[in-house]
Amino acid sequence: MIQEAIFHVPYGAYAYSLSPHHARITLRAKRGDLKACYLVHSDRYEVPDIYETVRLSFSGSDELFDYFQATIESKTRRIRYRFLLDDGVKRLWYGEQGFASDLESSGCFQLAYLCTRDLYSVPEWVNDTVVYQIFPDRFWNGDPANDPEDVCEWGELPTAATFFGGDLQGIIDRLPYLEKLGVNLIYMTPIFLSPSTHKYDTTDYFSMDPMFGDMDTIKSLVKEAHARGIRVMLDAVFNHCGADFAPFRDVVEKGAKSRYVDWFHLREVPVDMKKINYETFANGVATMPKLRTENPEVKKYLLQVAEFWVKEVGIDGWRLDVANEVDHAFWREFREVVRAANPEALIIGEVWHDSSPWLQGDQFDGVMNYLFREAVVEFFAKRTIDAEAFDSRLTKTRMMYKEQANRAMFNLLGSHDTARFLTVCGEQEERMRLAVTFQMTYVGMPEIYYGDEVGMTGETDPDCRRTMIWDEEKQNKDMLKLHQDLIAIRKQHSALQTGSYRTVIKDPLTNLYGFVRENGQESIFVVLNNSPRSQKAAIPGGASGTDLLTGKKH
């Protein structure tokens, strides 16, 4: 037994509540090392020799490790536990004190009390949700009257500064399209007053940008979307504001005398937008001054913003821009405020990396799952990793997080910040078809970047922000139909939403990748032939079934 490879801690994704009386326990071991792994647990005040035993299930492998999991019930909610590990040669106890040949000496890990208040609770509706991301200036121009000057013609290639006149009325007009597509959550990039086309440099957090509409338009959009069973989510850009944000203007004008001087991270006063002697988004982006969210006044202001759009406009959640550069304390209060305003509101952070510190239940529900995207890009789009490595990446990311977070992920193939997926595929449609099939059947919410479903292409920003193709002649109808079919399948089958995930084929030679999603009701086998040749795969366990895409019996 490779003891150095065994890993468990009694917190985080390794030990947590699934419900007030249920806990999920995970143990990691060197790949292939353990033959069996048992959990021995009891109430933490019981005498040591009263305990229950449960065998952990194998839950997946990454490049180096196997993961074993169990879900246990505790009547008293106070759990003390240790493991018995068996590598086929030796059996060892493993607990807080480390490894031991006897139960007592190993010591006990403790889940001291499964506090209801700390339970990670994500909205139930994430389970059957398929997300559609819209960049409003480029989706549809529903109201030419609110266009800015010099709008470009729909279909021209965008630069970083071009405007196309897309607006919220355009989204309202296209709701029937979205309903038919089957998506049921719209996430829009920012729509508040701002001078830019992307609007990540906010001028006023309480105003609609007039080129997108007014308060009535956003209220109508929410109302009409809700009437079609579609939720609406906005983008909260709280890491930084725009240069025209009144408090920043005030500081620029009045210097040390401004009452907003503590709202920003100033290196010097007076502020000089040419020298950029203040912190900004990234390095030296003069028009995006970083906000001091630790200042109680700034915090209060932004939390009012967060509450306002949920309460007054009825939005269903927030996507949080540059979420990992804002303090945890702020996001904890943010969750309290947003959930108080709407207990079913969804909170998704933009974090491109390991997001564990934000996904413990006290801050976000999920994140934009860029680690998912990277794996999908490398396996399906570029074929730079094989089926085995792909599965390793997925397992590693899934095991980073608690189950609640995994169900609340935005699983994206692309966004306004990446090249479009079809372009990354070198426009080889069959690769994208595989990726979409995977996305729609994996754990977490599939997120479609507007236009991907009709075969839009584009290199990274600004090219990935082209205007939506509405001319049906120019739309890729096969791609659209595939999306419609898969979305319908995802929404109809609970096993794809909340079922377990079990890899059954990950063959580096054939590049076949297959997995089973299962719950008490149904068992769905997904097999993806990520190779140029036709191949056969057997249904696991010799079972028979119906092809959900073709209706064919096997």
- 169 and 143 in contact (C-beta within 8 Å)? yes
d(CA 430, CA 115): 48
Shortest approach of a second copy to residue 113 CB, angstroms?
4
SS3 content of the chain, % helix, strand, coil (to 5): 30, 25, 45
Shortest approach of a second copy to residue 9 CB, angstroms?
7
Q: Considering beta carbons, is residue 82 or 491 the nearer one to a second copy?
A: 82
Q: Which among 53, 61, 57 is positioned nearest to 29, based on CA atoms?
A: 61
> DSSP labels for 18-51?
EETTEEEEEEEEETTT-SEEEEEEEETTS-TT--
Q: Indicate if 350 belongs to the active site.
A: yes
As a three-state string, the secondary structure of 382-433 is CCCCCHHHHHHHHHHHHHHCCHHHHHCCEEECCCCCCCCHHHHCCCCHHHHH
Q: How many residues does the chain have?
A: 554
Exactly one of 209, 350, 391, 403 is catalytic; name it.
Answer: 350
Six token digits for residue 88 = 């086929």
Shortest approach of a second copy to residue 320 CB, angstroms?
13
Shortest approach of a second copy to residue 341 CB, angstroms?
16
CA–CA distance from 342 to each of 156, 224, 227, 331, 338 (Å)? 40, 19, 18, 16, 6
Shortest approach of a second copy to residue 112 CB, angstroms?
4
- 432 and 425 in contact (C-beta within 8 Å)? yes
Q: What are phi and psi of 95, to 5 degrees?
A: -150, -160
Q: Indicate if 321 belongs to the active site.
A: yes
Distance from the Cα of residue 23 to its chain's centroid: 23
- Which residues contact a second copy (rule: CB under 8 A)? 2-5, 7, 9-11, 30, 43, 45-46, 63-65, 76, 78, 96, 98, 108-110, 112-113, 115-118, 279, 282-283, 293-294, 324-330, 332, 351, 353-354, 356-357, 362, 396
Exactly one of 279, 316, 321, 447 is catalytic; name it.
Answer: 321
Residues 6+ apart with CB under 8 A from 113: 77, 78
* Residues paired with residue 69 on neighbouring β-strands, in sequence order: 26, 57
Q: Considering beta carbons, is residue 22 or 249 the nearer one to a second copy?
A: 22
Shortest approach of a second copy to residue 473 CB, angstroms?
42
Shortest approach of a second copy to residue 548 CB, angstroms?
34
**Sign of the torsion formed by the C-alpha atoms of 250, 256, 259 and 262:** positive
Residues 6+ apart with CB under 8 A from 122: 346, 365, 366, 404, 405, 407, 408
The catalytic residue positions are 321, 350
